[in-house]
């Protein structure tokens, strides 16, 4: 390598480091926090635990009658009943169609519920919290540090209520349906400022930078990769593998430069893979979008997406379920309307939406229907009884955790250009996962490289914890020494340029 090329390499690493080493140090530390405290979310299991039990003798309208009185027609994406809005039973309905907003319907009168106000938000919070818990209404927000998720857009604005429990839990309540859509304990909120909120550069969300947030993350990651790669080359060039320097050391540097050089040689590969996989988490420029055809859900549903015929009264369904039901959800499956009865944690009980009789799906019919989910030949369909590289469960607080990943599951593999796999819950007939070439590539380049969620390692904790904490600490030391070196270099340049020294540099 020529002298000019070397000089350019040193300059690229040095000045990118001045800008980016602080980001690197922050990413390493916040990533370690995220191993144990994730961004606030309300999982379905947690939500069910806090819902009041539906009274079987309550005079509740059948869903078809409630929808008719409320003037809701057409195919529905979602229909469920729970005492989730103001502590009173209400149907929550989401029409089919992109961007369709959910509607809440009073389950007794069939009237559409108006936009949530303070009184209803407080009533919802009281039903969610333990008895005798004090409540404090904090007003309405469109978006704040803990509600940047796009999944909440249909519920904005959000009412905030703080519970007087030991965790000082903050509840976010939908401005449309009056349901709790997110909860965040005080410790969770505080740790997030050192964890996910700063790790994902959320200070750039919900303000003037919001529209540029994706580009900021992408280009900082790309610049970080360039810095780490150039530093790796410089580090290898300056390291004496065969013959040490006169001092007897393999590195020519002293002080912070020495620690930075050694740290870079030890942790450069991990740093590069983590920054690169962080970039991959953004699906930059949609590189993982394989263009697979949408699923033909009517194949499983047995016709057009319609809940016509959901005539069984909730009282009959609740009686058939045997009590303790906190939510009823209606779907269409194998040509009939099915009500799913959920308790606080048990598997859903399937009931016929007209007769309220217990339902068990026909496995052979489910397999036959699955073959028509995509306009491609079904290569294979099999029962999967254990998690693998592409279908697995993570802790609820993690980025990819919290969703239902039941076992056993049917895996249908198709011969389309994207090599699509579809995962179907044989108990409910619901599609619980989908994979294709793009998503499997993302699995390797993001999840595997970034969080090391390799099952043999995850199943041997605390080995997973020890490895990731060690690598995070090593990367943090390397980055912090880089911050010190960068500030010193910047101070020298400023003084040589005659700029007054207004800050004390390390």
pLDDT tens, position by position, 485-495: 888 877 776 67
CA atoms of 288 and 279, how far apart (whole Å): 12
The predicted model scores a pTM of: 0.91
CA atoms of 426 and 361, how far apart (whole Å): 8
pLDDT at 321: 93
CA angle 249–252–256, rounded 5-degree value: 100
Sign of the alpha-carbon dihedral angle for 257, 261, 266, 271: positive
CA atoms of 503 and 487, how far apart (whole Å): 10
pLDDT at 501: 53
Q: Is 280 in contact with 266 (CB distance < 8 Å)?
A: no
SS3 content of the chain, % helix, strand, coil (to 5): 40, 15, 40
pLDDT at 180: 98
**Beta strands 421-424 and 409-414: pairing type?**
antiparallel
pLDDT at 498: 67
pLDDT at 486: 81
What end-to-end distance do the CA atoms of the chain give, in Å?
33
Q: Is 49 in contact with 201 (CB distance < 8 Å)?
A: no
| Cβ contacts of 144 within 8 Å, gap of 6 or more | 206
Q: What is the dihedral of CA 140, 144, 145, 146, to 10 degrees?
A: 60
Query: What element of type H or E holds 410?
Result: strand 409-414
Structural tokens at position 359: 């339902």
CA atoms of 240 and 181, how far apart (whole Å): 58
Q: Is 154 in contact with 92 (CB distance < 8 Å)?
A: no
pLDDT at 9: 82
Give me the residues of the chain with pLDDT under 70, please. Answer: 1, 304-305, 346, 493-494, 498-506
Domain boundaries, the chain: 39-194+307-359
pLDDT at 185: 97
Q: Is 446 in contact with 281 (CB distance < 8 Å)?
A: yes
| Cβ contacts of 113 within 8 Å, gap of 6 or more | 85, 90, 104, 105, 106, 120, 177, 178
pLDDT at 503: 47
CA atoms of 332 and 290, how far apart (whole Å): 29
DSSP structure string for 411-477: EEEE-STT--EEEE-TTT--EEEEE-HHHHHHIIIIIIHHH---HHHHTTTTHHHHHHHHHHHHHHH
């Amino acid at each position: 390598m020529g002298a000019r090329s070397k000089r350019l390499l040193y300059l690229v690493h040095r000045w990118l480091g001045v800008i980016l080493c602080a980001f690197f140090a922050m990413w390493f530390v916040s990533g370690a926090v995220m191993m144990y405290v994730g961004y606030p979310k309300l999982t379905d299991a947690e939500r069910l635990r806090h819902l009041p039990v539906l009274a079987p003798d309550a005079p509740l309208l059948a869903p078809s009658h409630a929808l008719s009185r409320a003037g809701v027609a057409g195919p529905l994406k979602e229909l469920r009943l729970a005492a989730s809005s103001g502590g009173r039973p209400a149907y929550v309905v989401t029409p089919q169609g992109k961007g369709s907003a959910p509607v809440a319907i009073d389950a007794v009168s069939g009237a559409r519920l108006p936009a949530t106000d303070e009184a209803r938000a407080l009533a919802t919070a009281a039903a969610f919290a333990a008895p005798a818990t004090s409540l404090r209404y904090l007003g309405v927000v469109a978006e704040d540090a803990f509600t940047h998720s796009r999944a909440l857009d249909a519920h904005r604005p959000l009412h905030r209520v703080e519970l007087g429990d030991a965790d000082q839990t903050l509840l976010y309540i939908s401005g449309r349906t009056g349901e709790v859509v997110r909860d965040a304990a005080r410790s969770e909120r505080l740790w997030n400022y050192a964890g996910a909120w700063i790790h994902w550069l959320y200070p750039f969300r919900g303000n003037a930078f919001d529209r540029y947030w994706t580009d900021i993350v992408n280009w900082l990651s790309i610049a970080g990769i360039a810095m780490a790669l150039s530093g790796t080359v410089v580090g290898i060039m300056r390291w004496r593998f065969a013959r040490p320097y006169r001092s007897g050391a393999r590195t020519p540097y002293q002080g912070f430069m020495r620690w930075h050089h050694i740290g870079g040689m030890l942790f450069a590969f991990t740093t590069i893979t983590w920054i690169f996989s962080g970039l991959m988490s953004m699906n930059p420029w949609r590189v993982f979008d394989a263009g697979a055809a949408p699923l033909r859900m009517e194949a499983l549903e047995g016709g057009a997406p319609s809940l016509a015929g959901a005539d069984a009264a909730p009282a009959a369904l609740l009686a058939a379920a045997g009590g303790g039901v906190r939510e009823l959800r209606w779907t269409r499956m194998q040509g009939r309307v099915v009500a799913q009865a959920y308790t606080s944690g048990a598997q859903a009980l399937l009931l016929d939406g007209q007769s309220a009789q217990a339902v068990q799906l026909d496995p052979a019919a489910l397999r036959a229907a699955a073959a028509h989910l995509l306009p491609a030949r079904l290569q294979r369909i099999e029962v999967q009884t254990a998690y693998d590289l592409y279908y697995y469960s993570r802790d609820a607080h993690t980025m990819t955790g919290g969703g239902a990943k039941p076992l056993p599951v049917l895996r249908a593999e198709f011969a389309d250009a994207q090599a699509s796999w579809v995962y179907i819950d044989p108990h409910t007939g619901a599609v619980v996962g989908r994979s294709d070439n793009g998503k499997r590539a993302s699995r390797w380049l993001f999840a595997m490289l970034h969080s090391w969620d390799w099952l043999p390692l995850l199943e041997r904790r605390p080995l997973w914890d020890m490895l990731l904490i060690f690598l995070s600490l090593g990367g943090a030391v390397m980055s912090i020494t880089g911050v010190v070196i960068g500030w010193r270099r910047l101070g020298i340049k400023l003084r040589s340029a005659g700029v007054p020294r207004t800050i004390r540099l390390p």
